[in-house]
Structure 1
């Protein structure tokens, strides 16, 4: 929506000056009759939307800190609830429930697997005015992130396309509470590959090592679960950062999904975790989304 222009009316008092057809004239010197004061009303400025950040796999909500700070300084309400990374349907349902507690307009920002989560959680919520994808998945109905990432070459997750799990990941069994059920598998990104995968070697070795040590693993079932229902991008406008130096999701896959969603696309020479290495680019894209929905 275009910003409404606010026109201020000038109330002329006892000076007796009146503007008629663009000509200034002097009124009679006789005292003006007593009248009740005129109350002026001006349209209230549109409230700033709440920016909701959703992290992806092998990351955490802390990855958004350098994006959050300038947005808060600009007066935006900002929240970054943690993503459970257990199942796409469960993660999306949890986020959808959280969004119902927020009053007013919302801009949803998802990175990597978080893009799939916001795609599902936004559907049916009239307060969600924009979706912003940062090096992210934008699945359609029944699509899963594993298949989308493998649809185009270029990911560094595996040196062997047939390897399960991919060679850059370590699998850790997590037994179910009920005896006899097949154990779930959690996937961790290997520390030795972490700097290349998420930052394209653009952060220091020590920084990458610290982030690798604090990563949040993702359940393998979450990566293989298809999107249920209609994706939010079919009815909600979206903005996408295609990271051309992404080593997790092939840039061609990001471009394909964004084009299909009729998203507003910005391409930049950023790695997968662009919110860490290039927070200014991410902030700018979010502000574009905000401006584009007013």
Structure 2
């Protein structure tokens, strides 16, 4: 019997047991944090592409109440993720990730998508008005007054596409306008508690036709943060992740693979 087995192995009739495959290193989790006047669905096309490429993804429902409390909320989500994280923020979400990442030990890189990257003590309102070009204020609807005197802000639906999503189809922009989530006025005027970009490598992507945050302000913040890679998308609106998801994914994956 032993002689028969040796003969079969010698002629390849029976294969020797294969060596265990070496597993590839797990890819980092991508955390996506939306900004004002949007929700987590604004990342849908980005999520689909990242998951296709093998990245675990969490699209956070950002409360949009205050930089500190929103940062705390994102921080709790980060604490539940065991592997390294690429943390991505859009618009006001940039302020939130700048705070949350400063208090997390698993965030390896930051990506700012048409987003604020504030220095400690700076506000979103201050940064958006640092250079001319923002036309957001006149497009805001009558605010909703909250208990305690704070206000919830929305963009008028009839002005939403031109202001926020000019390079998105009218049908998609109409849905976005109807489902937009408000941000409190106080959040936009709240001094940033932390500036994680000072210690964590950061990447930036934005459109040169952004009407919420002037492109010049976005470029200035990227330069100040010593961006590892900055992509300016010609003609892109404030929602560059909706109109150009491929370009946004490319930047995220670059940040994810950087050593």
Using structure 1 for the length normalisation, give the TM-score.
0.78
Equivalent residue in structure 1 for 2:230, among 254, 265, 278: 265
Deviations 1:51-107 (A, max 9, x none): 010000000000000010011111110011201001111101110111000001100
- Conserved 8 A contact 2:134-2:211: yes
Q: Does structure 1 residue 238 correspond to structure 2 residue 197?
A: no
Per-residue deviation at 1:44? 4.6
2:47 match: 68
Report which of the two structures shows the higher radius of gyration computed on alpha carbons.
1
2:107 match: 128
**Range moving further from structure 2, 145-154 or 237-246:** 237-246
SS for the counterpart of 2:109 is strand
SS for the counterpart of 1:79 is strand
State how far apart, in whole Å, the 2-side matches of 1:144 and 1:204 are. Answer: 31
1:179 match: none
Per-residue deviation at 1:143? 0.3
Per-residue deviation at 1:280? 0.5
Structure 1: 4+ residue segments shifted above 6 A: 39-43
Output aligned runs, 1:200-219, within 5 Å.
200=166, 202-219=167-184
Equivalent residue in structure 2 for 1:188, among 154, 160, 177: 154
State how far apart, in whole Å, the 2-side matches of 1:255 and 1:109 are. Answer: 17
Q: Does structure 1 residue 277 correspond to structure 2 residue 256?
A: no
State how far apart, in whole Å, the 2-side matches of 1:287 and 1:208 are. Answer: 27
1:286 match: 252
Unaligned 5+ residue runs, structure 2?
Answer: 1-5, 7-17
Indicate the structure with greater helix content. 2
State how far apart, in whole Å, the 2-side matches of 1:44 and 1:124 are. Answer: 31
Unaligned 5+ residue runs, structure 1?
Answer: 1-13, 15-38, 158-165, 177-181
1:172 match: 143
Counterparts in 2 of 1:41 and 1:210: CA distance versus 1, 3 Å: closer
1:138 match: 117
**Range moving further from structure 2, 241-250 or 138-147:** 241-250
2:163 match: 197
How many pairs were matched up? 243
1:84 match: 63
Using structure 2 for the length normalisation, give the TM-score.
0.89
State how far apart, in whole Å, the 1-side matches of 2:224 and 2:142 are. Answer: 33
State how far apart, in whole Å, the 2-side matches of 1:173 and 1:41 are. Answer: 61
Q: Does structure 1 residue 253 correspond to structure 2 residue 217?
A: yes
SS for the counterpart of 1:271 is coil
- Conserved 8 A contact 1:171-1:186: no
State how far apart, in whole Å, the 2-side matches of 1:151 and 1:136 are. Answer: 14
Counterparts in 2 of 1:43 and 1:207: CA distance versus 1, 3 Å: closer
